Structure 1
Amino acid sequence: MSRYEREFDSGWESMDKDEATTRAYAIGVAERLGEDNREALKAIYAEMESAYHRSMVELAYEEGRNEAKAAADPGADDADAVWAELVQGEVTTVDPDDVPTSGRDSLPGALDSGDLLDRQDVDSTEPVDRPDFLER
């Protein structure tokens, strides 16, 4: 029994586009991990009623393949870890002390909040004052 078959029920009667894209993503991950589930993917395609929904399923399938390829360490036998991370959604927690706040790994300066959006003082009349060069 494949990872996909263990995770998802194969006896479905109909499915909506959200479930179809989730399943297609999982099939893409499983295929990249060496399991063939083409028949299930064909059944999902057949269930979709429009070309738009079929293209969404295709995109989800390709995304699953690409993310599994990126997550898999070449030469390592970590297929179960890749499946758990990408499909089962096991959450990886990050210690707040490890979050970058400055330096090379922080947000670039262009994404910092700028002064343009800061509100001016309500009582400020400087923008409408007479320029200094006109005063004697």
Structure 2
Amino acid sequence: MSRYERTYGTDWESLTADEAVERAYAVGVAERLGERNRAELRQLYESVETTYDRSMVELAYEQGRTEAKAAAADAGTPGALWSTLVTEGSVELPDGDDDPSGLPPALSRVEMLDLSSPDSTDSLDLPEFLD
């Protein structure tokens, strides 16, 4: 059983986009440790609905691979590297950033891309600066 399977498990039915991003990061770290899990990565892509969320999953996966490669020399053992990057949640946010998810700002959700509901009339209102 791989580190990823012990930490997260693979018997999930559905995930939120944030959970898929977190797991994709862990899959990237695990791959750098020699534990490929392409089937899980494919399922993570399929678990999210929008292209934006799929790109976030891809970015998180690549970020996990990159950070694991960069930290490999300092961590010593694969277990220490996994613990540092994944289980301890060592991602540090800059001061003043209140994102509780612990994700780097580049992986946080962009609110301007969130669309209003189709039944909303907000798109017909005057912009705030014209009021």
- Identical residues among aligned pairs (%): 58
* Aligned residue identity for 2:43: A
* Aligned residue identity for 2:21: T
TM-fit CA distance, 1:89: 1.1
Q: How does 1:1-136 map onto structure 2 within 5 Å?
A: 1-73=1-73, 78-89=77-88
- Residues 43 and 72 of structure 1, relative CA distance in 2, 3 Å threshold: same
- TM score, norm. by length of structure 1: 0.63
TM-fit CA distance, 1:78: 0.9
**Distance in 1 between residues matched to 2:55 and 2:16, nearest whole Å:** 14
Question: Greater helix percent: which structure?
Answer: 2
Task: Give CA deviations for 1:101-131 in whole Å, capped at 9, x if unaligned.
Answer: xxxxxxxxxxxxxxxxxxxxxxxxxxxxxxx
TM-fit CA distance, 1:90: 6.3
**Distance in 2 between residues matched to 1:16 and 1:10, nearest whole Å:** 15
TM-fit CA distance, 1:42: 0.1
Aligned length: 90
**Distance in 1 between residues matched to 2:84 and 2:48, nearest whole Å:** 27
- Residues 90 and 50 of structure 1, relative CA distance in 2, 3 Å threshold: closer
Unaligned runs of 5+ in 1: 92-136
Q: Between Structure 1 and Structure 2, whose CA radius of gyration is higher?
A: 1
* Aligned residue identity for 1:10: T
Task: Give CA deviations for 1:29-85 in whole Å, capped at 9, x if unaligned.
Answer: 0001110110000001011101000000000000000000000018x8511000000
- Deviating 4+ runs (over 3 angstroms): none
**Distance in 1 between residues matched to 2:27 and 2:61, nearest whole Å:** 6
* Aligned residue identity for 1:66: T
Unaligned runs of 5+ in 2: 91-131
- Residues 22 and 90 of structure 1, relative CA distance in 2, 3 Å threshold: closer
**Distance in 2 between residues matched to 1:77 and 1:69, nearest whole Å:** 12
